[in-house]
Structure 1
């Protein structure tokens, strides 16, 4: 296509597609609801973006050359969006983000990482291993790699690493050579309605792994694999013996670990991951399983694990010193919160952890209110913000209060986000962490500056 127009261009997956087509030589433009750091970077790369839903703002070449234009939209865009309706009614070639990624992946050797938790860090680590080992890969990532400062890696060779997103059943557009399933917990019930339907979708995804490929599933995952066509099926775990697992795990300083990686070919001794937290041992086992099956040498694997710098907004340590520290994390599901908080306890042993949580979506808040309260009670102190609605309209009776009332902490407060910075300026901070998938990321830089200033007082 000569022209590619993206509706919702500022999303993490959409922006990677914009960068891909822009690098391929297409003329790329798009719409997003609000400016962000990501849209600013896209504009610096020569991509035109506007922030009003207005047909008149679509660049004229996209309306003049319909046959040469591909329109990509995110499922978060409402059906009554005027630009979407314009392209739809005028017969443009218009596809969802997932179909666009599926079309690209079909031309490569696709290595897909799926699961309700852990897929962003795992896919980014796999892409890093392939890049550092010299095999190279193109990668569409669900976060910004701190090694490469991008959500897109480009390479002319055959490998493509894809984060296989279950939202809106997007991952069913992929037919990978190899795939990992990290988890199948209940989530996105606004799409699936029941946990069983989520598990059915993961079973369908597993069946789409090619017959000469391999499927790697976290041990204990509740999933029906009876329709799997892949000739090789493996299990991985944190430390339970199976095909791929860690043993001889030793805690080092500041939440880092040393471990032996067991795999069908033997044992790789004294591995370390370049980022802290026990959860990243598990993520590294998942990424390493595909890397080893693809022929990465144990030496290259160890070096890659050690040099992995992580992903922005995934246990992302922004300030760290003995006086006060600040961490930002994307956790927006109860299990993600529990895992993140337990990892933070190891990284900042014995210190007081204050969490700021912005719930994401009315439906998720409604469906998991009790579970959120239980996970957030693992903190020492809670600052709870209003629900970030994203694509949803309010639901009567669903506010942050239904979480707040069940949090067992003595030290807890509810705030509007506009009050947050002033409140933080007045309180003592030991370890502060922001959690959420909404616009809480807009506060990361101001909070970083505030905590840095407090640490120097």
Structure 2
């Protein structure tokens, strides 16, 4: 597609984290941007502050007339939209240029030097670290993030257009639209079985993604995965390996062994070995791209994180409140490892909102095992997202499988009082649904007490 002939870009589902990053890209490239979303949020407010026209009721009558010209308008939609969506059907039936977000991302990146981050866990953090490293090394990058970077308060980083950094999303095989020059695969744990059916089909899609690299492209693989590539790992014999790990005042201090030399005394401020692994692969890709080592060391130390990825909201000697997007058993395990490493001996309460009926059904035993590692657990009802209920799949069913005495299922209205009753030293909110909306209430209540 020749984007020069496009003057208007209309988004259906503009408030999504990936969609809003694309919207910011087109605003930065002087296109007129508008869109629909179901709910007004901080993300949509941020876009409207840039001049983006957004409405929250599905109906063609709400669309500015200039966006109804099929010759000059590109329509981008998220696959999360229901098939009966009125606006989407109007654009399709009237032969507009209508593409999924992933298709447009592929078109944007195909004529750039593209660095893509794939994996069932760690994509957003790794992408944001990589974008930050390249930006701080003054590379001409455009980075599309799946979360809000604490360094830039945005899911979009721009310092030029020659290099792109993107998340390669495995959901509905979206990442197969990309043609990266460099790519990494952080993990291939079973997920999205509502789309793939079986774990083996998900692994096959990662194999297909590996074949999408441009000729002479470089593929980085977490050590232990069943794909060939440049390996990375922690305290092992990988091509890139973290060595001599110490924790000083809550900060990791370590060395990195590369194929050519050892980088010494690097610092990284996010807790958890999973985050250390994310930092390592981002560093390895930046090294292979050609960034100066000393600039990378400085840039890594200045990385602040991504909102809702082990985000501290209260941090005192007596009480700690952390929010995280973890919505898969392996992600919960990673958060557990991090919090035990940073707060040994403290009573830890996990407040978890399961995300999707199908994911809860498919991994119920693994969720129960992961959650049983905490000292106490509070469950909220399942967040349905795009799904209808599945008979018998409930938070009460999951609760019954958790091997803990201190466990309960509560409503959002009861949540703060139940957290207070727990007398926990460390409180975690976990999940990918609307549990993030409860964070501000919890923070307000316990900041007063702290």
TM-score range, shorter chain: over 0.9
Residue 428 of structure 2 is aligned to residue 433 of structure 1: yes
In the aligned structure 1, how far is the partner of 2:415 from the partner of 2:62? Answer: 35
In the aligned structure 2, how far is the partner of 1:390 from the partner of 1:418? Answer: 20
In the aligned structure 1, how far is the partner of 2:84 from the partner of 2:343? Answer: 48
What per-residue deviation string (whole Å, max 9, x for no partner) do you get for residues 105-152 of structure 1? 112110000000011111100111101112241100011110011000
In the aligned structure 2, how far is the partner of 1:211 from the partner of 1:103? Answer: 18
- Aligned position for 2:194: 190
What per-residue deviation string (whole Å, max 9, x for no partner) do you get for residues 183-231 of structure 1? 01100000110111101100010011112220000010134x5xxxxxx
Q: CA deviation at 1:427?
A: 4.8
Q: CA deviation at 1:422?
A: 4.3
- Aligned position for 2:105: 101
SS in 1 for 2:156: strand
In the aligned structure 2, how far is the partner of 1:173 from the partner of 1:60? Answer: 31
Match of 2:139 among 135, 140, 150: 135
- Aligned position for 1:295: 290
- Aligned position for 2:262: 267
In the aligned structure 1, how far is the partner of 2:91 from the partner of 2:430? Answer: 37
Residue 342 of structure 2 is aligned to residue 347 of structure 1: yes
Residue 1 of structure 2 is aligned to residue 6 of structure 1: no
Residue 232 of structure 2 is aligned to residue 236 of structure 1: yes
What per-residue deviation string (whole Å, max 9, x for no partner) do you get for residues 401-421 of structure 1? 221111111111101223323
Q: CA deviation at 1:253?
A: 2.9
1:325-364 aligned within 5 A: 325-364=320-359
Residue 119 of structure 2 is aligned to residue 115 of structure 1: yes
TM-score for both structures, normalised by structure 1? 0.95
In the aligned structure 2, how far is the partner of 1:418 from the partner of 1:449? Answer: 15
Gaps of 5+ in 2: 1-5
TM-score for both structures, normalised by structure 2? 0.97
Residue 245 of structure 2 is aligned to residue 249 of structure 1: yes
In the aligned structure 1, how far is the partner of 2:84 from the partner of 2:226? Answer: 38
Verify the 8 A CA contact 2:325 2:431 in the aligned structure 1. yes
Deviation above 4 Å: which 4+ runs of structure 1?
none
In the aligned structure 1, how far is the partner of 2:263 from the partner of 2:225? Answer: 25
Q: CA deviation at 1:387?
A: 0.5
Task: Give the direction of change, closer, same or farther, for the CA distance of 1:429–1:48 in structure 2 (3 Å limit).
Answer: farther
- Aligned position for 1:213: 217
- Aligned position for 2:37: 32
In the aligned structure 1, how far is the partner of 2:168 from the partner of 2:252? Answer: 28
Residue 314 of structure 2 is aligned to residue 309 of structure 1: no
Match of 2:319 among 313, 317, 324: 324
1:415-426 aligned within 5 A: 415-424=410-419
Verify the 8 A CA contact 1:184 1:222 in the aligned structure 2. no
Residue 158 of structure 2 is aligned to residue 162 of structure 1: no
SS in 2 for 1:67: coil
- Aligned position for 1:151: 155
